[in-house]
């Protein structure tokens, strides 16, 4: 199983048949990114299309595992972040989409402009067609999780874990409020899109300051 993680000041993959000891190439495509100690920070709360691209070959079963900490910027009632997986090619500047890929997005918006985006906390799945086009595939209200957004919880890293099977299209997104990783959400990508393969992973933020790292 390919194991994709953010750690210290690098991202790496570890598996028995695909060992990679060198730091994958990365590019800060848009926004204000920097490494400080063990964490990667995006410091521009006004950036709507902040993005960092990592060159990471992906196929078969891939585990994406990282944590996120809120650093500020959502005082206006809006902020979001997500991860593009199985990205075929990376554009190293601001863009709405990320080549051909799939974006899993967590969003908070007290006054959403679109009827397809639930008010408050929600999650979206986008199919990226190109750097300028994405189709919204699913939009899920997460109001039941809003009590989790306390100052105390947001001050600490929140762990995220995604397992994607590029051959079958099965995606498991684990519940970050369950420390035992027993709860997860299923999502299935249409068979016509399979198999999924990619050369890049992209992290992105919208209107918020965040930091990322491996489990601490």
The pLDDT of residue 44 is: 98
The pLDDT of residue 37 is: 79
- Mean pLDDT across 47-68: 94
pLDDT digits (tens, 9 = 90+) for 156-182: 999 999 999 999 999 999 999 999 999
Q: Residue 69: give the domain boundaries.
A: 2-213
Domain of 185, CATH number, reads: 2.60.120.560
* Cα 167 off chain centre by: 20
DSSP of 20-85: --SPPPEEEEES-EEEETTEEEE--TT-SSEEEEEEEEEESEEEEEEEEEEEE-GGGSEEEEEEEE
How many domains are contained in the chain?
1
pTM: 0.90
| Average per-residue pLDDT for the chain | 89
The pLDDT of residue 1 is: 60
What confidence category does residue 17 fall into, taking pLDDT thresholds of 50, 70 and 90? very low
The pLDDT of residue 18 is: 24
- Mean pLDDT across 114-128: 97
Separation CA 116–CA 212 (nearest Å): 28
Q: Is the pLDDT of residue 195 over 90?
A: yes
């Amino acid at each position: 199983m390919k194991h994709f993680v953010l750690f210290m000041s690098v991202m790496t993959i570890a598996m028995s048949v695909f060992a990679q000891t060198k730091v994958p190439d990365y590019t800060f495509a848009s926004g204000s990114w920097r490494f400080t100690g063990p964490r990667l920070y995006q410091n521009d709360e006004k950036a709507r299309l902040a993005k960092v691209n990592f060159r990471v070959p992906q196929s078969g079963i891939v585990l994406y595992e990282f944590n996120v900490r809120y650093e500020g910027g959502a005082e206006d009632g809006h902020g979001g972040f997500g991860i593009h997986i199985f990205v075929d090619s990376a554009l190293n500047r601001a863009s709405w989409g990320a080549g051909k890929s799939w974006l899993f997005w967590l969003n908070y918006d007290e006054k959403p402009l679109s009827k397809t985006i639930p008010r408050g906390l929600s999650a979206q799945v986008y199919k990226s067609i190109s750097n300028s086009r994405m189709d919204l595939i699913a939009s899920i209200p997460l109001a039941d999780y809003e009590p989790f957004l306390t100052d105390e919880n947001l001050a600490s890293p929140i762990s995220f874990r995604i397992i994607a099977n590029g051959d079958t299209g099965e995606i498991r997104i684990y519940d970050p409020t369950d420390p035992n990783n027993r709860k997860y959400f299923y999502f299935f990508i249409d068979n016509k899109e399979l198999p999924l393969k990619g050369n890049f992973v992209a992290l992105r933020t919208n209107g918020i300051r965040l930091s990322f790292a491996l489990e601490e």
